[in-house]
Structure 1
Amino acid sequence: MKIIRRIFIGILLLCVIAASAGGIYFYQNYMKEAEQVIANSGANDFKKHQNSVIYDKNGKVLVNLSENANSKYLIYQDIPKNVQNAFIAVEDRAFWKHHGVNVKGIARVLIKYMTSGGKEKHGASTITQQVIRNTFIGKEVKMDRKLREIAYSFALEQKYSKQNIMEFYINNIYFGHQQYGIESASDYYFGKSAKKLSLAETAYLCAIPNNPSYYDPLNEPNHTKQRQRKILKDMYETKLITSGQYKSALEETVVLNRQKTEQTYDDPSTYAIYCATVQIMKKDGFHFRYSFGSLKRYRKYKKKYNVAYRNAKEKLYTEGYRVYTSIDPEAQNKLQKAVDDGLKGEKKLQAAATSIDHKTGKVVAIVGGKTDKKKTMGLNRAFESKRQPGSAIKPILVYGPAIDSGYHAGSTLQNVAISKHVADYGSSISLEDALTRSTNGAAYWLCNQIGIKRCLNYLKKMEFGSIVGEDETLASSLGGMTLGVNTVEMASAYHCLLNDGKFIAPTCIEHMEDADGIGLYFAKEPKQIYKKSTAKELLSIMENVIQNGTAKNMKWDSKRFAAGKTGTTNDGKDAWFAGVTDEYSTVVWVGCDKPKANDELYGNTYPVKIWKSYNK
């Protein structure tokens, strides 16, 4: 028995020593820092969120996402009790009793961490911990950061009252759509002050911060409703509302009264935001696809994509990223001026254009439409609108694969009557003449010889994002595609030809890092799509398109190299010019937002005029 007692006492002493050592380690490595930071903090530290900043090529701020967020601060006395109680019921029922952390929650985190070999780091956080995470620590889930969060929470509760902490929390949380705090959210979603919200409306809004993308009332109202009901149930179970209030709130139909106060951005900013969001999606593990067996599968994928995109965009707006881009202000202004001058006096027509640098493969200028003097820009047609490409698709979809397969400029093609069976041959024509003159029958016949699936694989490899099974018809060889393409995709494909057949995924990101300075963007190695000899032969033929073909009315008189291809869809609904110089790959689209026949619109009219003005 004495031996057992000694062993027990020894183990107990070891535990005490280990606990003491752990306590000393925790204090030295976490508490001292936390006490110092919190001691130097003030109320203003809790009235801000981490802003993300996007810079242009010259290091000048392109857009500061924080500056455009909406936040209306409420002091504690003005925060409705229902708002406080809703968050207490669903987030932290012991808020008024604990000292910053939930001891049981900490134990759960440690057990999960050890039993999962360090893979599982999640655990319930108190409201105090969430304030710390939103203000000082950040949201990355690591055990070291969790320990710092705990230390900071202890320190925060020592300096500030519970009322202060509740005030900081409710004013600093994100409600989606650039809205911070309950007052801004109430004004945005319902058009009234938070103090005028009903219990049902309060619970509805308080559902959002847990996951602003998933519980987005504008895009996922069913999800919001489900969490609202959970919050009401939690409030009832914790006796924060009566059974009568609970029943009445469940029966109330919540009707939004959205106030359109969201900030809009100029074209290069919207594209930069898109590119940065895509990088965060990649970091989060989203699997991007460029091939779909059917339109139905594409739409199913897009639903998942849209959810992931909204979630990543929310992170971009709130987590303090720094994004450095290739956007060149000089090139941007020149391209915008070319579009505005080219469509001067045309009230119904719109345009989009993208320009990619020859050497880097990065987007340097992007225009989503004519200059909007009323500052109501929202749609960036250059990457957000898909349109039928017409004959501008032929070099990259038909003639490139054909030359890769052994055809050459002098090869004889059959110019068939498309309205008849493809076997009904028409007159003979050389490949060079067919491309130069944009002869539809020859491209149609040639695509049939190679195989439409093989041709479409070239576009998929160049990350065209809307190729579906329904495109596997010969109509695609003439640009008659199910969903269409955008100017960014086309410009990157033409740049591939300029880059000796090597494809560089289009983006304007040069460097991107999170709030801790950790890099997110790593450029991929260029991917060989066409043979180098194929790319050179295609460019030589398309140089003739400008000199003697469908774009000869451009009257290109510069000594600089220039090659390109016009494109016009049936009835003149869409017109394109895709071309390259020794400096840029630039693609221009012109048409109406709602496709409309126009017998005066061709690829060699407005698009050629805009392209030449920019590249001369």
Structure 2
Amino acid sequence: MQTRIPSEKVQARFRAILEKVRNRSRKLSILNLRDKKTRTFVGCLSLTVAAAFAVKSIVSYPFISLPSLNAQKGNVQIFDRYDHLVCTVHEEKNVEPVPLDRISVNMREAVIAAEDKSFYQHFGIAPAGIGRAMVKNFEAGRVVEGGSTITQQLVKTLYLDPEDRTLWRKAEEACMSLLINASHSKNKVLETYLNQIYFGKGAYGIERASLAYFNKHASQLTLGESAYLAGLIKAPSELSQKANRKEAIVRQHQVLDAMVECKLVSKQSA
């Protein structure tokens, strides 16, 4: 699926409005960016403007469908004239999607604690996280922090350019996340996320990652193994390197601490 790209005229208008907000905040003494309330106000105002234009750009997509497990394989099967399978051409992406009930509860809870503690409570985006990120991005004049939920990360992986870190793209990502949340169950979103996310070592999806790191299926992952894999998501290419194993272990412990904080496991178990 391709997203609708706003015209240069619309993007220019959007940038002009954001610049006007920045200039106004510099000129008026009441807008002291050192004040926490003012920073929050300006950040939320910028987000509102960006969201308004993003909604306008994707309004023609009332329903965004997540891919089925079979579609996620990305493989092409070739049959002969008698409908016999000749071969399967595999996509370069190393993925073997599995249903959520074949992913250990340990892994599901670890990734929620690590990436999105309020996953089952929010509606696709976390306003508080976005607000904090918008304030920092406004102050920096560019996107330096994402504040992304699991749903937003999935949208970025499936539909958007991950290298595009503009305010426009972040707003579009948030709006698409709302649409996905409205049309799919939380379990479907989590299942698709766990089957699409990159874990390093060329492994996409939790099944391939389980085999690559622990030589076992995703359904067999222990608490410690799950915390380790969930910790890799933050920086898979770096943390999967042998030279960075200590950092990966530190991250694993952080995930376990987060699981205790979320009351998903006891302190003794962690």
Question: Structure 1 pair 34/44, CA: closer, same or farther in 2 (3 Å)?
Answer: farther
CA distance in 1, matches of 2:182, 2:106: 26
Show the 5 A alignment for 1:395-414.
none
Residue by residue, what CA displacement relative to the aligned partner does 1:575-606 show, whole Å, maximum 9, x if unpaired?
xxxxxxxxxxxxxxxxxxxxxxxxxxxxxxxx
Residue by residue, what CA displacement relative to the aligned partner does 1:542-583 show, whole Å, maximum 9, x if unpaired?
xxxxxxxxxxxxxxxxxxxxxxxxxxxxxxxxxxxxxxxxxx
In the alignment, residue 158 of structure 2 is paired with which amino acid?
T
TM-score, with structure 1 as normaliser:
0.32
- 2:136–2:144 contact (8 Å) kept in structure 1: yes
Q: Which residue matches 2:189? A: 165
- 2:125–2:152 contact (8 Å) kept in structure 1: yes
Residue by residue, what CA displacement relative to the aligned partner does 1:14-43 show, whole Å, maximum 9, x if unpaired?
xxxxx99x969744x322544544625342
2:133 equivalent among 109, 117, 124 = 109
In the alignment, residue 221 of structure 2 is paired with which amino acid?
L
Question: Structure 1 pair 143/185, CA: closer, same or farther in 2 (3 Å)?
Answer: same
- 2:199–2:233 contact (8 Å) kept in structure 1: yes
Question: Structure 1 pair 26/81, CA: closer, same or farther in 2 (3 Å)?
Answer: same
CA distance in 2, matches of 1:81, 1:40: 27
Q: Which residue matches 1:192? A: 216
Residue by residue, what CA displacement relative to the aligned partner does 1:446-471 show, whole Å, maximum 9, x if unpaired?
xxxxxxxxxxxxxxxxxxxxxxxxxx
- 1:38–1:159 contact (8 Å) kept in structure 2: no
CA distance in 2, matches of 1:35, 1:98: 22
Q: What is the number of equivalent residue pairs in this alignment?
A: 209
Q: Looking at both structures, which has the greater relative contact order when contacts are Cα pairs under 8 Å and sequence separation is at least 6?
A: 2
Q: Which residue matches 2:146? A: 123
Show the 5 A alignment for 1:133-144.
133-139=156-162, 140-144=164-168
Question: Structure 1 pair 194/35, CA: closer, same or farther in 2 (3 Å)?
Answer: farther
Shift of 1:105: 1.4
CA distance in 2, matches of 1:227, 1:24: 36
CA distance in 2, matches of 1:227, 1:150: 27
In the alignment, residue 201 of structure 2 is paired with which amino acid?
H
Shift of 1:199: 0.9
In the alignment, residue 232 of structure 2 is paired with which amino acid?
I
- 1:121–1:143 contact (8 Å) kept in structure 2: no
Q: Check if 1:175 corresponds to 2:199.
A: yes
Q: Which residue matches 1:241? A: 265
Structure ranking higher in helix proportion: 2
Structure ranking higher in strand proportion: 1
CA distance in 2, matches of 1:67, 1:114: 40
Question: Structure 1 pair 35/186, CA: closer, same or farther in 2 (3 Å)?
Answer: farther
Q: Check if 1:227 corresponds to 2:251.
A: yes
CA distance in 2, matches of 1:231, 1:143: 29
Could you say what secondary structure the match of 1:97 adopts? coil
Shift of 1:87: 1.1
In the alignment, residue 202 of structure 2 is paired with which amino acid?
Q
After TM superposition, which residue ranges in structure 1, 4 or more long, deviate above 3 angstroms? 22-27, 32-38
CA distance in 2, matches of 1:206, 1:114: 30
Shift of 1:67: 2.1
- 2:143–2:166 contact (8 Å) kept in structure 1: no
TM-score, with structure 2 as normaliser:
0.70
Could you say what secondary structure the match of 1:122 adopts? coil
Question: Structure 1 pair 155/217, CA: closer, same or farther in 2 (3 Å)?
Answer: same
1:99 equivalent among 109, 114, 123 = 123
- 2:64–2:179 contact (8 Å) kept in structure 1: no
Please, which runs of 5 or more residues in structure 2 have no aligned partner? Answer: 1-43, 75-89
Show the 5 A alignment for 1:270-281.
none
Shift of 1:109: 2.1
Q: Which residue matches 1:41? A: 65
Show the 5 A alignment for 1:102-501.
102-116=126-140, 118-139=141-162, 140-216=164-240, 218-246=242-270
CA distance in 1, matches of 2:62, 2:184: 9
Could you say what secondary structure the match of 2:145 adopts? coil
